[in-house]
Amino acid sequence: LEDIIGWRGERDIERLHNDDELWCVPTREENRAAWTSVKDVRYHQPQHLYGKLRGVTITAYSSGHTLGGTLWKIRAPSVGTILY
């Protein structure tokens, strides 16, 4: 985690702020919050979402052609099922 947080030096951040493009470098707290919200799932294990996505179910399937590659079956009652 420390490597991810420290990959940009202060000079890089200053340079980015001076460029025409606007870059958003996450804070240490935002980075930690993002990593703690990651949830590992097993293949063929349906995950029922909650909050704004209540009713949506996602299921991971092995893609079969790349190591760790995943196909996602996304099912929503109002829309139907798609494979992504």
In this prediction, the residues of the chain whose per-residue pLDDT falls under 70 are 1-23
Same domain (yes/no): 48, 31: no
Whole-model pTM above 0.75? no
Task: Say how far apart CA 71 and CA 61 lie, in whole Å.
Answer: 5
Same domain (yes/no): 58, 71: yes
* pLDDT for 24: 77
Q: Are 72 and 62 in contact (CB under 8 A)?
A: no
**Domain that includes residue 74, residue range:** 40-84
Same domain (yes/no): 30, 59: no
The answer for residues whose C-beta is within 8 angstroms of residue 83's C-beta and 6 or more apart is: 71, 72, 73, 74
∠ CA(78), CA(81), CA(74), 5° rounding? 100
Q: Are 84 and 74 in contact (CB under 8 A)?
A: yes
* pLDDT for 46: 96
- For the chain, how many structural domains are there in total? 2
